[in-house]
Chain A
């Protein structure tokens, strides 16, 4: 009787363990589905169209983008939304031009991304890297005309996160 009870208990524990494992796997799958690879796009509002094209290109790879649109909300609210966006992203693209280097928000966004340890890629639009922000020294930047190279590398990072090394190798 006691033996039976023990074995039943053990059986129950084993089942519980099995269920536990599959629940974890399920949760992992769900979280991956709920948070696809996200790229934060920092830009000056004067380059909204270019930023939107960059966003479209990234989305075709299956990633999500976070375009920081600064509308008429107050400073506190924009700050919260920027932080939420960068936190939810795996990396940030900073579109740099004569406009954005004087933009109030771009440097602020770079600092948040730095603080949160996110990968930052400056993209130079009609501006030489050496006249761009002193603050962006140390990051590997890319010319807007070479943005396709960035997309190729991004595919690798997206697949790596989704645990698809074969696709990443291709």
Chain B
């Protein structure tokens, strides 16, 4: 059974997203992400449609919460899409304290330092 994760991130954190994608793939988890979405000329309605499709096709959405993504409207949109489509939503706090700037992040989040442990737990799901 394959397990697919959509990585929600700011375009400014592309390297971070690529790194997470690589680590997930190494654990046997399929990773999806929109690269450079804030720099494309794609019309907003098409972007929204694509995001909904990507999120729909995933089992889980991991949000990379950083100083860059805390105020990103697209990241917020992806979080809403995850909740609307009943997908598991996992915020990963990269910059300490950033979760306090994003009110939809409740008590449940993964600290960046605990990411290897979290990825192992996903590995079991993908197995």
Contact = CB atoms under 8 A, between A and B. Distances in A.
Interface residues of A, number: 27
Which range contains the number of B residues in contact with the other chain?
Answer: 20 to 34
Contacts of B85: 115
Contacts of A137: 43-45
Contact of A110 (B80, B102, B108): B80
A138 B44 contact: yes
Mostly, the B contact residues are helix
A127 interface: no
B104 A115 contact: no
B76 interface: yes
Nearest to A76: B106
A104 B103 contact: yes
A134 B44 contact: yes
B77 A76 contact: no
Interface of B: 43-45, 48, 51-52, 55, 73-74, 76-81, 83-85, 102-108
13 contacts: A79-B104, A83-B83, A104-B104, A105-B104, A108-B76, A108-B77, A108-B104, A111-B83, A112-B80, A112-B84, A115-B80, A115-B83, A138-B43
